[in-house]
Amino acid sequence: MSITDIPQVYNLERLISQTESVYSLPLIYERLTEVINHPRSSIEDITRVISNDQGLAARLLKLANSPLFGYFSKIDSIDKAATIIGTQQLQSLALAVSVIEIFHEVPEDLVNMRTFWQHSIACGITARALAIYRREANVERIFAAGILHDIGRLVICTAMPDIFTRMLMASREKFSLLFNLESEFLGYTHAAVGGKLLEKWRIPASIAEPVACHHSPDKARVFPLETAFVHLADIMCKSLGIGSNGEGYVPPLEESSWERIDIPPAALPEIVKHVEPQLAETISILGGKA
């Protein structure tokens, strides 16, 4: 093989800047962040921004009325949703919805997008359920982090399809974990790519760090518990075979994360039982066409 046969490997900075020029967060998300962070803005201001995007508004309302929240009375307007669910929470949900939309057009030949989002959304719901079990506040950012944890893999396979194919083949031949091969082939993993991209998009660190560290939870400095939720949720969904993210094996569990979450092993089936009724509907709301 001559040197020209080796497909181009981008360094992390180059990959991110290239990705950033192709995929940008919709303006509506920035507007939403602005009004939510503005000390004098009201529920009406927030409602007005969301209602500008009918697709986003419709998905948020469907989510608010889904088994994920399990409210008895119908939430039929965005201002009701903002009041009941909370504006910060709505912002995290809007982020998840927007990013899924951005990556909707990724070419399907290397990654099956249906099973990819199945795995991602299941991971989001599971991480959220773990957080609820631990009585954490503001669980929607953990939900968003779970949903977005593997977006770096979409970036890698879109930007470097040849290398991605080689990594998949090597994973099968050597029985290796795909994310270890990413380090070997590229010098970084999909987790780092996802974290960096979210950082570039100025997404809060409470979401970006769990994404960046979901395979190395010990490296999370500011949000180790949030990271541990995503780390364990990924392992749970992989173990149970819900969806697929290209990774062939269940990733190893970091003992420190398990201890940090501090639940009995018998809680795992209970949590999955809690998650399962929410899966199908959430996947169809977030993954389907608006």
Partner 1 sequence: MGKVVINNLTSGMVLGADVRDRSGRLLLGAGTEFNDKNIYILRTWGVIEVDIAGAENDSVNSKSSCHIDPVRFAAIEKKVAPLFRHTNLNHPAIKELLQMRIMREAEYVDH
Q: SS3 for 154?
A: helix
Taking CB under 8 A as the rule, does residue 175 contact partner 1? yes
Whole-angstrom distance, CA of residue 39 vs CA of residue 66 = 30
Number of residues that bind partner 1 (CB under 8 A): 30
C-alpha–C-alpha distance, residues 210 and 221, integer Å = 10
Rounded CA separation 141/90 (Å) = 9
* Closest-CA residue to 115 (of 244, 290, 274): 244
> Can residue 272 be called a binding residue for partner 1 (CB under 8 A)?
yes
Residues 226-245 that bind partner 1 (CB under 8 A): 232, 235-236, 238-241
Beta carbons of 63 and 285 less than 8 angstroms apart: yes
Q: Binding to partner 1 by residue 253, rule CB under 8 A?
A: yes
CA distance 132 to 94: 20
CB nearer partner 1, residue 39 or residue 265: 265
Assess contact for 123 and 230: CB atoms under 8 A.
yes
Binding residue for partner 1, selected from 74, 114, 174, 249, defined by CB under 8 A: 249
Three-state SS letters, 259-270: HHHCCCCCHHHH
265 interacts with partner 1 by CB under 8 A: yes
CB nearer partner 1, residue 102 or residue 268 = 268
Residue 127-166 contact track with partner 1, rule CB under 8 A, x = bound: -----xxxx-------------------------------
Closer Cβ to partner 1, 40 or 135, answer by number: 135
State the DSSP code for 252: P
Tokens describing residue 88: 């910060």
Of 5 and 255, nearer to partner 1 (C-beta) is 255
- Residue among 63 and 233 whose Cβ is closer to partner 1: 233
Using a 10 angstrom Cβ sphere, with 0-12 exposed, 13-18 middle and 19 or more buried, the burial of residue 8 is: exposed
- Residue 266 interacting with partner 1 (CB under 8 A): yes
Kindly tell me which of 47 and 171 has the beta carbon lying closer to partner 1.
171
Report how far residue 106's alpha carbon sits from residue 171's, in angstroms, rounded to the nearest whole number: 22
Q: Can you tell me which of 71, 103, 185, 258 binds partner 1, judged by CB under 8 A?
A: 258
What burial class does residue 157 get, using C-beta atoms within 10 Å of its C-beta: 0-12 exposed, 13-18 middle, 19+ buried?
Answer: buried
CB of 267 to partner 1, least distance (A): 4
Tell which one of 219, 270, 284, 288 touches partner 1 (CB under 8 A).
Answer: 270
Q: Does 173 bind partner 1 (CB under 8 A)?
A: no
Q: Which stretch binds partner 1 (CB under 8 A): 97-105, 163-171, 210-218, 247-255?
A: 247-255
Q: What does the binding site for partner 1 look like in residue numbers (CB under 8 A)?
A: 132-135, 175, 177, 232, 235-236, 238-241, 248-253, 255, 258, 263-270, 272
